[in-house]
Structure 1
Amino acid sequence: MQQQGPVYEWSRKFYNLLIHEGIPEGLSVQLNLVLNLIVLAVVVFLLDFIFKKVVIQAFAIFSTKTKTTFDDFLVQSNFPKYIAHIVPLIFIIRMIPTVFSDFPGWGNFSMKIVDIYMTILAVWIFRSFLRSLKNFLRTKEAYKDKPLDSFVQVFLIFAWIIASIYLFTVLTEKDPIAFLTALGAASAVILLIFKDSILGFVASIQVAANDMVRIGDWITVEKYGADGDVMEINLATVKVRNFDNTITTIPTYALISDSFRNWRGMQDSGGRRIKRALYIAVSSIRYLTEEEVEDLKKIQLLASYLEHRQTDITKYNTENNADKSILLNGRNQTNMGVFRKYIDTYVKNHPAINKDMTMMVRHLPPTPQGIPLEIYVFSSDKRWVNYEHIMADIFDHIMAAVPYFDLEVYESPSSKDMKRLSQSSASIQNQ
């Protein structure tokens, strides 16, 4: 590996001096190599220090004069620092043949070390660029809720695969086809080792393509005990901040292999559903007399309805000669029916209910606990705390209104009820 030129001549100065002093040639060559390595290390250190300062400062000045924030993210991710390493690296590559001119074997070994470092540096630069791009896109409204971490990790995996193939060719001096052939032979082991990464990769693509989950979505995954907002979506996991401020980590592929609930549809709609039932004791349901109907007309929300309804019922009973000495004959109103109409009118006039969405008060099939009277409406305010307040306000009013219709809400017998019943039985026996 004989070199010519000023640099080569300069690298031989110490060798010539040692030979002139009578030092054996073999020792002179070795001492000359040591000195050249020291000088090379000092020069590379100075070059790296100087270019690092210059490049970082240049990026800082450039970023302050541009409107885009992308260059700011490049600075934050150490992109200028990695770029500054390129010049010292080029200098090393140019100097290795000269420094190791007397030791070609060591020169080849050093070039392999430099190639390894160069490959790793290239991946670092690419990684820094991807992270900067990811952080920059996070500032854009269209990409805030996209699983960018997954895509960055996928690109990095491909970058490391390419780098690994190149390093294999550098270290073994064999064709990359041999490396790929070896990978093919070990594919079963590779699939086993990288099973989660492969599943996560496929899941990330499906999640993004089908818009199943976005960052910021409220999701519920009962299998993993997750109920909260999605914080992060990457290749392997999805992080969910639960409403008790705990964090649940879910495998990404679980989003396509297991069922989960995404509340985004509710948040994007015009209201949040209120679906809750009141259980009315069957024994309290009965027909209303005309006097009771007249009394209920004092309720303003029912006055117009009862007036119109009672007129129709009276007309029908008259035309059909209904014997009203027994309430069962003809047509009648029930306290349950009037109460249901009252609730229906009340929720339709409630200012916090969305009038453009479904509003319904309905009977559900009878149960051992009574007749479920279900309120099915949508609150205009979807915020959790306000939603709970609206629902509580509606049911507070409804439960307080029950006695006005001579109805009873079902309650399981309490210890006081049992005690009162026992006392009554004892009193009867004493009599």
Structure 2
Amino acid sequence: MIWNFTDIHPVLTIAVALLLLAFMALFANFVVKALLVRVLNRALSLTAYGRDPDLRRHGLVERLANIMPALVVSTGIALVPGLPAFVVVVVRNVSSAFMILTAAMAVSAALNIVDTIYHRRPEARLKPIKGYIQVVKIAVYVIAALLMIATLIDRSPLILLSGLGAMAAVLILVFQDTLLSLVAGIQISSTDMVRVGDWIEMPGQNADGDIVEIALHTVKVQNFDKTVTTIPIRKLVTEPVKNWRGMQESGGRRIKRALLLDQTSVRFLDGEETERLSSLDRLGGYLKSKREEIAEWNGRLGERGRIPANTRRVTNIGTFRAYVEDYLRNHPGVHRGMTIMVRQLPPHPEGLPLEIYCFTDTTVWAAYERIQSDIFDHLLAILPEFGLRVFQSPTGEDLRFLLPERESTGRYG
């Protein structure tokens, strides 16, 4: 009687069989996800990795579970009575292609888990593997795409692979950026150019901050204003990059700034000024030894020593330079194990530069700026004690002092 029903109502029979097959696929999906996946997740929760939300969010088990409904459809479609053969082949091929895609996505999720676990290791910031994992993902998806195409057209994958030689030029053109990025990533990793956490500067890319991610194609830099700059990874090989890692590892950050002195304020110190400055703790020993040295030198001049121009005398700028150097060597925020130097640079129209060159004992930005500001606050305030002036261009206040003089002479511009 059943066979008579199928002969009389073939379309209805096919529809009922397809609905039954869909129900079986949904039931299989429910059983796998509601029971097996739940049991497996509970088993994994007994381990350290199973309790980790960062690892479970990749959904590896759930992706593998999606294979079961497609497997039911692929197997059961041939049991549907009266279904044309080409429809059976198409549905089976589509189901197989879906299973291949799901398997590729599961492999990708597994690679994400590997990357997450690796990034928790101390050496992960020195040797990031995210770029290599992305290369493996690309290879997995390329292979999956070839298998899916071969499955959909019902041909052997070897036929497609045999044509890859002719497509090599096209593939190289399509994946040109990927290949260049891969080579750049290998160079960066092998030469240890940059690491995650390094502070880099790339003015050409408007990047000035810490590296937060090194991927296959890009490097993400979080700037100090909390914006994020994304740089093509090959730019780190082809363009200049300043890496501040050496400064951070040394434990000191350089101060290299000059005071611009008014050259007309540079002069010799008289005896009274020398005595007054000798009372300063930082100059007592220096001026004592300097006066002894100068007295010995001038004593050898004989009669020529009566002419002041022939003699050596103490200058205010030289004394100030000695004061600054001693001040830096005893400053609690200056690194004593690194270079400390006070020197004159070539004079220019903006004044005579007296450069302070030293290193702070910290690399923390806020602390560095505080120490540098404290040093120059003190030096600017104590300059008048040496009869020196800081050079600066005339301001409106300077012109106001000249105004009464111009009014008294009756000259106006």
In the superposition, the TM-score normalised over structure 2's length comes to 0.91
1:340 aligns with 2:321: yes
1:211 aligns with 2:192: yes
Q: CA deviation at 1:363?
A: 1.2
- CA distance, structure 2, for counterparts of residue 287 and residue 405 of structure 1: 10
Aligned CA distance change for structure 1 residues 273 and 17 (closer, same or farther; 3 Å): same
1:169 aligns with 2:154: no
The residue identity in structure 1 corresponding to 2:153 is T
Moved more, 380-389 or 241-250: 241-250
Partner of 2:141: 160
Q: 2:31 aligns with which of 38, 41, 50?
A: 50
1:357 aligns with 2:342: no
Q: CA deviation at 1:407?
A: 0.9
Specify every segment of 5 or more residues in structure 1 that has no aligned partner in the other structure, as ranges: 1-15
Q: 2:282 aligns with which of 275, 289, 301?
A: 301
Partner of 2:215: 234
Q: What SS does the aligned partner of 2:302 have? A: coil
Q: What SS does the aligned partner of 2:310 have? A: coil
Q: What SS does the aligned partner of 1:346 have? A: helix
Q: 1:98 aligns with which of 75, 79, 102?
A: 79
Aligned CA distance change for structure 1 residues 237 and 147 (closer, same or farther; 3 Å): same
Asked if 2 retains the 8 angstrom alpha-carbon contact of 1:240 and 1:248, the reply is: yes
- CA distance, structure 1, for counterparts of residue 52 and residue 77 of structure 2: 35
Superposition pairs for residues 21-40 of structure 1, below 5 Å? 21=5, 24=7, 27-28=9-10, 30-40=11-21
1:17 aligns with 2:2: yes
The residue identity in structure 2 corresponding to 1:110 is V
Q: CA deviation at 1:416?
A: 2.5
Aligned residues: percent identity? 35
Superposition pairs for residues 200-279 of structure 1, below 5 Å? 200-279=181-260
Specify every segment of 5 or more residues in structure 2 that has no aligned partner in the other structure, as ranges: none
Asked if 2 retains the 8 angstrom alpha-carbon contact of 1:36 and 1:99, the reply is: yes
In the superposition, the TM-score normalised over structure 1's length comes to 0.87
Residues 199-223 of structure 1 show CA distances to partners (whole Å, capped at 9, x for unaligned) of 2222222222222222222211111
- CA distance, structure 2, for counterparts of residue 422 and residue 281 of structure 1: 23
Q: CA deviation at 1:72?
A: 5.0
The residue identity in structure 2 corresponding to 1:17 is I
Asked if 2 retains the 8 angstrom alpha-carbon contact of 1:147 and 1:204, the reply is: no
- CA distance, structure 2, for counterparts of residue 362 and residue 69 of structure 1: 63
1:77 aligns with 2:58: yes
- CA distance, structure 2, for counterparts of residue 44 and residue 168 of structure 1: 24
Q: CA deviation at 1:401?
A: 1.3
Moved more, 209-218 or 374-383: 209-218
Aligned CA distance change for structure 1 residues 177 and 95 (closer, same or farther; 3 Å): closer
1:110 aligns with 2:110: no
- CA distance, structure 1, for counterparts of residue 258 and residue 183 of structure 2: 43
Asked if 1 retains the 8 angstrom alpha-carbon contact of 2:219 and 2:233, the reply is: yes
Q: What SS does the aligned partner of 1:328 have? A: helix
Partner of 2:379: 398
- CA distance, structure 2, for counterparts of residue 174 and residue 321 of structure 1: 110
Asked if 1 retains the 8 angstrom alpha-carbon contact of 2:178 and 2:217, the reply is: yes
Q: CA deviation at 1:299?
A: 1.1
Moved more, 415-424 or 67-76: 67-76
Moved more, 104-113 or 219-228: 104-113
Partner of 1:13: none
- CA distance, structure 1, for counterparts of residue 35 and residue 291 of structure 2: 92
Aligned CA distance change for structure 1 residues 117 and 322 (closer, same or farther; 3 Å): farther
